[in-house]
């Protein structure tokens, strides 16, 4: 009865869907931010079992797509997978620099706005941790490509915030998962997206804003990636080591930007081999709720 009442109460504030699986996963849509006429949503996944207890670990994902394309649905299967393992998971929408007719960039939306949304998202999780039944000190944040840059945004870019955010709430995650992440925004694509705000390009570059005591991170990258060139990752790794930060880099000799090329289940982001390695990382941090 307790679980049923919780699900009903959540359904009042959002759209709820139950997936028929061996241990059912519930998907709920919640609005986490309203800004400049936009209602930004997150897709939340959880099992009935997690709602019998408080302080569940959480994973929040940000999709890729060059700050222009992509959709939260690209992380849905990963969200379901981890919901079945006892996490409460989220796939966040954020503002993209694309116009209604499909052209880009958007005159008012740049990667800076995407960064602000990512930072708002983590504040929203912490502010609502009790009602979401998550542990505010066990929030893992993951992302692919541009979504990886947004993961770093939550940990690094202290000066880039929405003016309506409660700045007393930390955006820093407790651990980070990076899949073909972007590490350096000093490139022509982002310069084009920023337009007349290109002077802000330094403020949203992970490499140029690194500092000590970043959260533990695991990063997966293909040596044949032609979108985020591998030497950029190596330079980033060297700087992380100099600062004494925990940065575990897992490389693949012949893989390109889409590490799970051909894997439709996970939108080509990764495969079970990579997710199993992610599981090991989470277990070492004592964040994995249950063993398989």
pLDDT in tens, 222-280: 999 999 999 999 999 999 999 999 999 999 999 999 999 999 999 999 999 999 999 99
Q: Which of 288, 156, 274 is nearest to 209 (CA)?
A: 156
The whole-number pLDDT of residue 16 equals 65
pLDDT score recorded for residue 15: 65
pLDDT at 52: 87
Does residue 5 register a pLDDT over 80?
no
- Chain-centroid distance of CA 90 in Å reads 8
- pLDDT at residue 13 greater than cutoff 70: no
Instruction: Write down all domains in the chain, each with its CATH number in brackets.
Output: 2-284 (3.40.50.1820)
Give the pLDDT of residue 18.
Answer: 57
Rg for the chain, CA atoms, rounded: 18
- Which run of H or of E encompasses 16? strand 15-19
288 vs 6 pLDDT, higher one: 288
Per-residue pLDDT of 38-69, as tens digits, reads 999 999 999 988 988 999 999 999 999 999 99
Phi-psi map region of 262: left, alpha, beta (phi>0 left; psi -120 to 50 alpha): left
What is the predicted pLDDT for the residue at 292?
43
Give the whole-number percent of the chain exceeding pLDDT 70.
91
Q: Which of 13-22, 158-167, 194-203 has the lowest mean pLDDT?
A: 13-22
- Asked whether the bond before 105 is cis by omega within 30 degrees of 0, the reply is yes
| pLDDT number for residue 10 | 46
At residue 62, the 3 state secondary structure works out as strand
């Amino acid at each position: 009865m307790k679980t049923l009442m919780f699900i009903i109460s959540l359904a009042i504030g959002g759209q709820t869907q139950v997936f028929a699986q061996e241990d059912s996963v519930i998907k709920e849509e919640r609005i986490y931010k309203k800004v400049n006429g936009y209602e930004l949503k997150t897709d939340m996944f959880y099992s009935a079992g997690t709602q019998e207890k408080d302080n569940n670990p959480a994973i929040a994902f940000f999709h890729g797509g060059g700050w222009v394309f992509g959709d939260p649905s690209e992380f849905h299967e990963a969200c379901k997978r981890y919901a079945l393992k006892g996490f409460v998971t989220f796939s966040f929408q954020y503002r993209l620099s694309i116009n209604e007719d499909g052209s880009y960039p958007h005159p008012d939306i740049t990667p800076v706005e995407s960064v602000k949304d990512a930072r708002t998202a983590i504040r929203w999780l912490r502010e609502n941790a009790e009602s979401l039944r998550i542990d505010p000190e066990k929030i893992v944040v993951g992302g692919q490509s541009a979504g990886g840059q947004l993961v770093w945004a939550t940990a690094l870019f202290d000066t880039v915030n929405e003016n309506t955010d409660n700045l007393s709430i930390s955006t820093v995650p407790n651990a980070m998962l990076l899949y073909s992440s972007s590490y350096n925004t000093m490139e022509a694509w982002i310069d084009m997206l920023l337009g007349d705000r290109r002077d802000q390009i330094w403020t949203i570059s992970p490499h140029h804003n690194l500092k000590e005591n970043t959260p533990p991170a695991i990063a997966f990258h293909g040596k044949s990636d032609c979108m985020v060139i591998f030497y950029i990752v190596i330079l980033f790794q060297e700087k992380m080591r100099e600062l004494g930060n925990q940065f575990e880099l897992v490389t693949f000799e012949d893989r390109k930007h889409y590490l799970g090329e051909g894997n439709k289940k996970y939108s080509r982001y990764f495969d079970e081999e990579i997710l199993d390695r992610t599981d090991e990382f989470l277990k070492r941090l004592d964040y994995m709720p249950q063993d398989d």
